[in-house]
C-alpha cells in the first residue's frame, strides 16, 4: 500500500505514466532541448523555487537554460527518480511529486502540470534538499 506521500488513485495511473517520463523537467531531451520547446512547455506565468529557497521566474529560467546548452541529460548523467505521487488539483491540473537522486544529492520535487489542447504545460516547480531521511518527525 502506498503512503500518503506516494499515493496515486487508480484512475490517475495513465497520467502518472505520461508525467513521470517528463521529469526531471528541463533535463530530458525527448521533451525539450531548445528555448522554443521550453517556452512551449512552461506556462507564461511559470515560476519555481529552487533547493536553496530562491524563487526563479520563467524568463530567468529560460535565459539560464539558453546559457547552459548542452544541458544535463538526466538519464545520461545517471540521475534517478523514485517515490512518485500524483494528485488531481482541478480540471486537467495535477501535482506530481517525486524524489530525485543526482549522484547522491537527493531532493524532493513537486511539479504542477496542466494538460491543454497543445499538450502538457508546467505551471510551477519546487525542489527541496533532503536533509533527513525520516518523515513525520520534528527535527531535533
Model confidence pLDDT, tens digit, residues 8-66: 999 999 999 999 999 999 988 888 888 889 999 999 999 999 988 999 999 999 998 88
* Cβ atoms of 88 and 8 closer than 8 Å: no
Instruction: Judge whether 119 lies within some domain.
Output: yes
Question: CATH no. for residue 90?
Answer: 3.10.450.50
- Does a structural domain hold residue 138? no
Question: Is residue 84 in some structural domain?
Answer: yes
Does 132 have pLDDT greater than 90?
Answer: no
**Is residue 5 a part of any domain in this protein?**
no
- Torsion 31-33-39-42 (CA) sign: positive
Residue 110 lies inside a defined structural domain of this protein: yes
Nearest to 25 by CA among 46, 52, 54: 46
The reply to whether 140 falls in a domain is no
Q: pLDDT tens-digit profile of 79-119?
A: 999 999 999 999 999 999 999 999 999 999 999 999 999 99
Which structural domain, as residue segments, surrounds residue 23?
12-129
What pLDDT is attached to residue 69? 60
Q: How many domains does the chain have?
A: 1
Domain-embedded: residue 3: no
Residue 70 has a pLDDT of 58
**Which residue reads 525520516 in cell numbers?**
134
Q: Is residue 59 part of a domain?
A: yes
Amino acid at each position: 500500500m502506498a503512503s500518503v506521500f506516494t499515493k496515486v488513485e487508480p484512475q490517475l495511473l495513465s497520467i502518472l505514466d505520461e508525467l513521470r517520463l517528463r521529469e526531471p523537467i528541463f533535463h530530458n531531451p525527448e521533451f525539450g532541448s531548445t528555448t522554443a520547446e521550453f517556452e512551449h512547455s512552461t506556462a507564461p506565468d511559470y515560476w519555481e523555487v529552487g533547493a536553496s529557497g530562491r524563487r526563479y521566474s520563467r524568463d530567468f529560467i529560460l535565459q539560464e537554460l539558453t546559457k547552459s546548452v548542452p544541458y544535463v541529460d538526466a538519464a545520461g548523467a545517471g540521475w534517478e527518480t523514485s517515490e512518485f505521487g500524483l494528485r488531481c488539483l482541478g480540471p486537467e491540473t495535477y501535482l506530481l511529486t517525486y524524489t530525485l537522486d543526482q549522484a547522491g544529492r537527493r531532493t524532493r520535487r513537486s511539479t504542477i502540470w496542466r494538460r491543454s489542447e497543445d499538450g502538457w504545460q508546467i505551471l510551477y516547480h519546487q525542489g527541496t534538499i533532503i536533509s533527513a531521511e525520516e518523515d513525520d518527525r520534528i527535527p531535533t
